[in-house]
Amino acid sequence: MHQTFIPGITPPTVQSQPSWWFAFVGNKLLVRSEGNVSQIPNLISLTEIGLTHVRTQFLGTLDGQPCYSAELPKDAIVPDGMVLQGLRELYGTLDEQLYALSGRAIQILEWDRTHQYCGHCATPTTQLSHERAKRCPNCGLVNYPRLSPAIIVLVSRGEELLLARAPRFPPGMYSLLAGFVEPGESLEETVVREVREEVGIELKDIRYFGSQPWPFPNSLMIGFTATYASGDIVIEPQELVDAAWFSKHNLPQVPPRLSIARKLIDSFVL
């Protein structure tokens, strides 16, 4: 069933109804685990399960229910029947909408945690009431949650697509080329530069595909498709251990359905 999330800044004056609590110890989310299904705590307060928080942020409402991110102490005792898990491991076990909100929650929580003091003069910051921002009362510097835009591109050549392996990948897994946008670049310029730097080939017909929030830790992945134009594959050894053309009918292990990389691959193959 589709649920409607409405982002918000100001929490309810009186916290009298159950809320969704996206509570983290570090980057691990607290969930109730029942077999292959995970559930986000739905409570009036975390004190109901014996927990206290370091700080919280109101996220908005999901079908009228308040949603909060919460930073728990590192020594928090996990309640019976609950576990702490990373977001990657939780994909497919959480409701899709709640999973997306978990990604939003950890990014806002991390921004809150790392902007308690002004980066210019070290004065404790004040959170603004009308927008998601922190202001320094001494020098006036304002900080908003920041995203790091990155491109990811499916490069095709007839019925083949270009896949590559980075050293950090699990054994046997290949994926698409990706990279962060540099200051002064357009997204299309980043696509051209990243592919040229990593595998030495040139592109044409660059087209936007879609985007995906990627809270690992704070990226926005912007997907493109492109067509091979010229050149031979010459990998950048500091970035990749292998890159090759693969037939759409005979692919190696590719990323899970969680990722926009897989969505791009599936759109080409299916």
Structure tokens at 14: 């009186």
Residues 6 or more apart whose Cβ sits within 8 Å of residue 254? 163, 173, 174, 175, 261, 262, 265
Whether residue 177 contacts residue 193, with contact meaning beta carbons closer than 8 Å, is answered with no
The verdict on whether residue 217 carries a ligand-binding annotation is yes
261 is in an annotated binding site: yes
**216 marked as part of a ligand binding site:** yes
| Whole-number Å distance between alpha carbons of 60 and 7 | 4
Residue 178 backbone dihedrals phi, psi, to 5 degrees: -150, 160
Q: Is 139 annotated as a binding residue?
A: yes
> Phi/psi of residue 252, each to 5°?
-75, -175
d(CA 29, CA 110): 13
178 assigned to a ligand binding site: yes
Is 219 annotated to bind ligand? yes
Tell me: is residue 67 an annotated ligand-binding position: no
Peptide bond into 217 cis (omega under 30): yes
The helix or strand, by DSSP H or E, that contains position 162, with its residue range, turns out to be strand 160-165
Rounded to whole angstroms, the Cα distance separating 249 from 154 reads: 16
Which DSSP letter does residue 173 get?
B
Whole-angstrom distance, CA of residue 226 vs CA of residue 265: 12
Binding site listing for substrate: 88, 131, 144, 212-219, 261
User: Which residues participate in the annotated binding site for Zn(2+)?
Assistant: 118, 121, 136, 139
Residue ranges for the binding site?
88, 118, 121, 131, 136, 139, 144, 178, 194, 198, 212-219, 239, 261
Binding positions for a divalent metal cation are 178, 194, 198, 239
